[in-house]
Structure 1
Amino acid sequence: LKLTGVTDDIPNPGVGSVSSANYSVDTRPADTTGPTTATIALANSALKAGQTTTVTITFTEPVSGLDVSDFVCGSGSLSAPTANADRTVWTSTFTPTDNVNAATNTIRLNLTGVTDDIPNPGVGSVSSANYSVDTRPADTTGPTTATIALANSALKAGQTTTVTITFTEPVSGLDVSDFVVPNGSLSAPTANADRTVWTSTFTPTLNANDATNTIELKLTGVTDDIPNPGVGSVSSANYSVDTRPADTTGPTTATIALANSALKAGQTTTVTITFTEPVSGLDASDFVCGSGSLSAPTSNADRTVWTSTFTPTLNVNDATNTIDLKLTGVTDDAHNPGVGSVSSANYTVDTRPADT
């Protein structure tokens, strides 16, 4: 109160001023809502092996009750958060998980775990911006393994197949010169988006027949992203190639050889019949023998060589003989019947009793 504005009854004007004791005013609406927002900031958003970083959580009003149980952290953990004097800014240390590679992570804070000074509990949740974690040990070794898979492992004439090469990490530099490909060739390999899976087309060589083949990859021709060169080599499982023209003709030739071509009384000899391909159905009825007979022929494992025992007729003297084989009695593996006949070289038979 300014006393100069008043007079007494004389009238003398007042002098100076006087004040009341203190009073407070708070006419804001009643605070019934707890914290609904905060910001979470990492000092480093790309964490490597051995690193930690400070996480700062900033509220728009003082809060209480914040602890690590209020957070959900991708690929790491937080230390117990500590507050500044007015409890609006809290800090914690983030430690990433060992041996992890994760490009997409956030720290989420459940605000329901804190209260303001009323105390009202917080509402909802907030998240940090993205951060990455790569705490794998330093990579000093290039690719050492891969798988090579053929979609078709039994190639016929006119066929091709897809070859898929799968690596355990992204690689660069793969080309056809890195492969050893028996009985065929590969097209230039192409990679998927992350360069872990490469595909190529295998084309078998024409007019080839080989049941035992593998594709070998020399890993020294590729590098990882460090870049470390690959080490060693890997091979596919076995595949077969039979690109011969369709077989429509049966056996047309064979050789018939007698181990002894001059038979005497009491002797027998082995007869060997050799075909240019496996045959079935050969028996003694397919032969015409001069001055003797054949036992039932038996074959080797692949049915290209058959043997029989020739026994000459008794008391015969014949200087001109052959064994004739009618090829129409046998078939090849395509079930084509043989064509024509073949004969052995000449042999002699003299099984007369000794002239005494």
Structure 2
Amino acid sequence: TDLAGNLGTGANLAGLTSDVVAPTLAISATDLNLALGESTTVTFTFSEAVTGFDATDVTLAGGTLTGLTTADGGVTWTATFTQDGSATAPSISVADNTYTDLAGNLGTGANLAGLTSDVVAPTLAISATDLNLALGESTTVTFTFSEAVTGFDATDVTLAGGTLTGLTTADGGVTWTATFTQDGSATAPSISVADNTYTDLAGNLGTGANLAGLTSDVVAPTLAISATDLNLALGESTTVTFTFSEAVTGFDATDVTLAGGTLTGLTTADGGVTWTATFTQDGSATAPSISVA
């Protein structure tokens, strides 16, 4: 009542509420596998607008965080995390009770799951099935990387004395094969890949390599034939020597065309440069001859 005794009218307090739910946080990134010094955008997504959150609330390892900001009143925050060049495993986390919602409830923390770094540059080894090529001969070349790579193609291969075709990988980018064909010139053949022409899947630039020991021999071998006795009596034998300009293969008695005699015992004792055999006059009147086509 008032002081005169009049009964009073009541009222309600309009708009009185309570917020007893603690805000929560989820952390994500555009790239979870970082190369040496690589950056990624990190997003801090709260369940509601928060206050008291800044870069000092973020615990880091293996990198630095810059440019933390919000554009929607404190619900979503973004920043740039840059791998610091060390081998330290990267991590980003926010501890419990380091921020509040607008009602003052302390928030729960979070970690960025799955963040890794790959700071090792990929390496390359080049090999071939045949390192000594004849005129126009082909060989299979294999490019073996230390891990799967990307951005590698035939334009990354520097060549001399031949051409490269059919570069492909069948195992996701670790091993690549192609065919190198000697181009018919006297140019010494070479195959190489320069540094920084490809990357691993994390983005690390790779080191180059050369194919060691690749050579070509484009000079055809020649042959001289001699004998210890050039004037044979009936049934007489002579030692015949086949002297090549270099070691040869695929040469045998069937390659020798004969007349007036027979050839036996064809052999080499020096790896294929010099071959000897016995030619025996066959008793006929046929003029003897020995030739190799």
Higher strand share: 2
TM-score by length of 1: 0.34
Q: Which has the higher contact order (CA 8 A, sep 6+)?
A: 2
TM-score by length of 2: 0.38
| Structure label with greater radius of gyration | 1
